[in-house]
Amino acid sequence: AQRVTQPEKLLSVFKGAPVELKCNYSYSGSPELFWYVQYSRQRLQLLLRHISRESIKGFTADLNKGETSFHLKKPFAQEEDSAMYYCALRGEKLVFGKGMKLTVNP
């Protein structure tokens, strides 16, 4: 079975602070992991995927197969990063975690 766990529902930080959004997964096969973001009143959009190894908007995420984690990190959060963030796993199908709301305060 595939499962994605985002243990925290809410995270509130001040501008310039580092952020880490946690994601753990469960899958017996070779996973493909994604982070999606949904800004207020906008549609869900891809932020990054582990196979690309990109940094988008200053965010990075490293797949740790030993810890079955794919945590999203940014060293200096900006107010415009405030949004819902969803971790997703593609195995036989694409499944999502329950999401985390990030609020970056001025």
Partner 1 sequence: GAGVSQSPSNKVTEKGKDVELRCDPISGHTALYWYRQSLGQGLEFLIYFQGNSAPDKSGLPSDRFSAERTGGSVSTLTIQRTQQEDSAVYLCASSPGGQRGGYTFGSGTRLTVV
Q: Which residues bind partner 1 (CB under 8 A)?
A: 6, 9, 32, 34, 36, 43-46, 49, 86, 88, 92-99
d(CA 87, CA 73): 12
d(CA 106, CA 97): 28
What minimum distance in Å lies between the beta carbon of 44 and partner 1? 4
What minimum distance in Å lies between the beta carbon of 90 and partner 1? 8
Q: Which is nearer to partner 1, 5 or 69 (CB)?
A: 5
Q: Which is nearer to partner 1, 42 or 106 (CB)?
A: 42
Q: Which is nearer to partner 1, 13 or 56 (CB)?
A: 56
What minimum distance in Å lies between the beta carbon of 9 and partner 1? 8
What minimum distance in Å lies between the beta carbon of 89 and partner 1? 11
